[in-house]
Amino acid sequence: MVRDEQSRVAQRTPDAGEVSGLHGGDGSAWDAVAPPWDYNPSEWRQRVPICALAGVAFFIATYMALYQWRLIGSVWDPVFGEQTAHVLDSDVSERMRTLFGIPDAALGALAYLGDAIYGLAGSSRRWQYRPWMTMLFGLDVIPLGIVSAILVVLQGTAVGAWCFLCLVTAAISLTLVWLAYDEIWSCLLYLRRVWKRTRDPALLWRVFWGNPSAAADQVALVKE
């Protein structure tokens, strides 16, 4: 009877918030730190700034896309003046529009919207309980953020004009990368520790998709 009860406790799903031995400093399982850090990169105070910045960048990119769609007649730039219009109407932008079917600013707006949505999704322990969600968030923020910043710089140098709003969104993109990488890194290290402990591809796959595992729980907070 005792063994049966212990087995049922060990097999409880982590989403119940009752994972034994995985509590943070305040006793809350959801606020447990994520190695190698001494804080939880999935907690809301870490993610809310990401969502807020992504929201700002989304509205800026949407504003530029409205100009590229000619839904507004001009675009505001307090620093470079008409250079922004030259950048948004450049051959580089037109080639990207032909390639993707929508203006490049609209692509950026979709990416920033994805950053905000993925930033809001999941619990404050998603680095462990929802690795797939954390990886989607990382794929949207980090590679696309770096590419966005590179494209802005290349566009300015290739066109010979600069766009103030483009530079603002590029700066936001790099800031988002800096703010998001710790959560992604914690998640990757967690999956690596699960693999090193179990050497079980099937278990690693289940853990990636958020299925509970006692073996995975045991290595969740272990620093290497």
Name the most confidently modeled range: 90-94, 109-113, 155-159.
109-113
- State yes or no: pLDDT of 169 exceeds 70: yes
| pLDDT in the model for residue 16 | 38
- State yes or no: pLDDT of 215 exceeds 90: no
The amino acid sitting at 174 is L
Q: Which of 123, 135, 131 is nearest to 220 (CA)?
A: 131
| pLDDT in the model for residue 161 | 85
The mean of the pLDDT values for the chain is 83
- State yes or no: pLDDT of 133 exceeds 90: yes
H-assigned helices in the chain: 2-10, 44-68, 83-88, 91-100, 104-120, 126-129, 131-159, 164-198, 201-208, 214-219
46 token code pair: 């870490």
Model confidence at 5, pLDDT cuts 50, 70, 90, reads very low
Under 8 Å CB-to-CB from 86, ≥6 apart: which residues? 159, 161
DSSP type of residue 14: G
Residue extents of the structural domains in the chain: 39-180
Average pLDDT over residues 105-123: 92
- State yes or no: pLDDT of 27 exceeds 80: no
Model confidence at 132, pLDDT cuts 50, 70, 90, reads very high
| pLDDT in the model for residue 131 | 95
CA dist., res. 91 & res. 132, Å (int): 38
- State yes or no: pLDDT of 17 exceeds 60: no
Stated length of the chain: 224
Model confidence at 181, pLDDT cuts 50, 70, 90, reads very high
CA dist., res. 29 & res. 126, Å (int): 12
130 token code pair: 């929802």
Q: How far is CA 131 from the centre of its chain?
A: 12
The pLDDT tens digits of the residues spanning 81-100 come to 888 898 888 888 888 888 88
Average pLDDT over residues 184-213: 92
Question: Which class for 25: exposed (0-12), middle (13-18), buried (19 or more C-beta within 10 A)?
Answer: exposed
Average pLDDT over residues 185-197: 93
20 token code pair: 């034994």
Handedness of CA 32, 36, 40, 42 (dihedral sign): negative
CATH of segment(s) 39-180: 1.20.1440.130
Rg (CA), the chain: 22
| pLDDT in the model for residue 153 | 76
| pLDDT in the model for residue 60 | 95
The amino acid sitting at 119 is G
Predicted structure pTM score: 0.80
